[in-house]
Amino acid sequence: MNGFPVQLSGAPNTLMWANEYEIEPQALQQLRNISKLPWIHGLRVMPDVHFGKGATVGSVIAMRNAVSPSAVGVDIGCGMEGVQTSLTANDLPDNLHALRTRIESYVPVGFNMHDDVVGRHKMSTRTKWHMNELWDSFDDLDPAVHGRRSRAGRQMGTLGGGNHFIEVCLDENERVWLMLHSGSRNIGKEIAERHIGVAKTLTHNVELPDAELSVFLAGTPEMDAYRRDLTWAQNYAAKNRAVMLDLVKQAVVDEFPTAGVTFGEQISCHHNYVAEEEVDGEKMYITRKGAIRAGAGDLGLIPGSMGTGSYVVRGLGSVDSFASASHGAGRKMSRGKAKRTFTVDDLVAQTEGVESRKDRGVLDEIPGAYKDINEVVAAQANLVEVVAFLRQIVCVKG
């Protein structure tokens, strides 16, 4: 075994799948601050742990009757979507630039969005499910975001920027997979910032070690309002990814019109969200920030960086980790430091063999800025089992 979990010094309710000496001091302080919250039952730290705004990325927080909106973060419901195709490496051309540009023409990236709400004819039956319910409940959200409905509609089925991506990958059997990473776009950010601001004004949060960890308490109007908006944003994020994957699948079908492309069962998982789950025989609010649910049999996706591969995993239902696993490789240096450390030539070298952008605009996403995905997955061998290893051959970034 790998010796994990280990206990964080000075935090008896905190177990980690990472060595303390490997974690930057800022992140360790964040973890200790979280562990001291009055409502905390336990904190679990994943091997991709790193410093984040509010709470540490790679943390699983179990609280009684309380939720911290900053711990969830501003990209509510961010997560992964993936599917295996019937294509193999032999079906692909040597040059994949046309495939990448077709995907980019079907799915807006960066600050771009659709000209109008994505038409239902472009969505699968799975994606259409409950779409009306999502938009019918929009006016129930905090009035501060009501003016964002048009933008939220046009951003449905769009990628965004930063660490969000769309990839075409090959597994060990040379089968082609599609995979993407995105969240609730601007509407999720605005919902989060509105409620984080409210939480910081509440009197029960005055003495906390970090105002960013301010919480809402169960049974209060503020908690009810946040849970309503949070649930809506989590649903929006899931549907955003589903619409995007439909568009990517269509791009692949159109790029290979004679191949009769078919698709397997889709895998979908949030990694910035709140769920009510039973922990140690008691109902708790579980916040996973940069972590996925890994209940027994749950399929998940743990991506690396844009040139190092990703994993399809199946959860083992670990009680110790609150049935959780990491959400990715995790950064080992900030975006600013990555830009100062690496050059475009480094990016070209580290993404060799991957059809992708290779310019300064994505330099902060260079593989060298991330932890080793193989080591991260090995550290959680008692949390998940590996189903497949995927190596990227196309990577679309915003």
> 158 in helix, strand or coil?
coil
What is the rounded distance in angstroms from the CA atom of residue 106 to the CA atom of residue 111?
15
Q: Which of 330, 280, 291 lies closest to 313 in space, CA to CA?
A: 291
Query: Which residues lie across from 326 on neighbouring strands?
Result: 291
Q: Which of 50, 114, 270, 327 is catalytic?
A: 327
What is the rounded distance in angstroms from the CA atom of residue 50 to the CA atom of residue 40?
20
What is the rounded distance in angstroms from the CA atom of residue 137 to the CA atom of residue 153?
13
Q: Which of 257, 286, 256, 260 lies closest to 273 in space, CA to CA?
A: 286
Phi-psi region of 157 (alpha: psi -120 to 50; beta: other; left: phi over 0): left
Dig out the tokens for 76 from the structure.
Answer: 């509510």
Residues in binding site for Mn(2+): 75, 164, 181, 271
Burial class (CB in 10 A: 0-12, 13-18, 19+), 32: middle
Give buried/exposed letters for 89-112 (b at 16+ CB in 10 A, else e): eeebeeebeebbebbbebbbbeee
Q: Which DSSP category does 162 fall into?
A: T
- Continuous H helices in 200-310: 221-255
Distance of alpha carbon 388 from the chain centroid: 19
Dig out the tokens for 7 from the structure.
Answer: 């206990």
Please report the sign of the dihedral spanned by the C-alpha atoms of residue 223, residue 229, residue 235, residue 240: negative
Residues in binding site: 75, 163-167, 181, 271-272, 303-306, 310, 327-330, 397
Q: In one letter, which amino acid is 327?
A: H
Catalytic site includes residue 204: no
Residues in binding site for GMP: 163-167, 271-272, 303-306, 310, 327-330, 397
Q: Which of 12, 41, 35, 37 lies closest to 276 in space, CA to CA?
A: 41
> Which residue, chain included where needed, has tokens 């601007």?
186
* Cis amide prior to 5 (ω within 30 degrees): yes
**What is the helix, strand, coil percentage profile of the chain, to 5?**
35, 25, 35
Query: Other C-beta atoms within 10 Å of 228: how many?
Result: 15
Would you please indicate which residues are annotated as catalytic (active-site) residues? 327
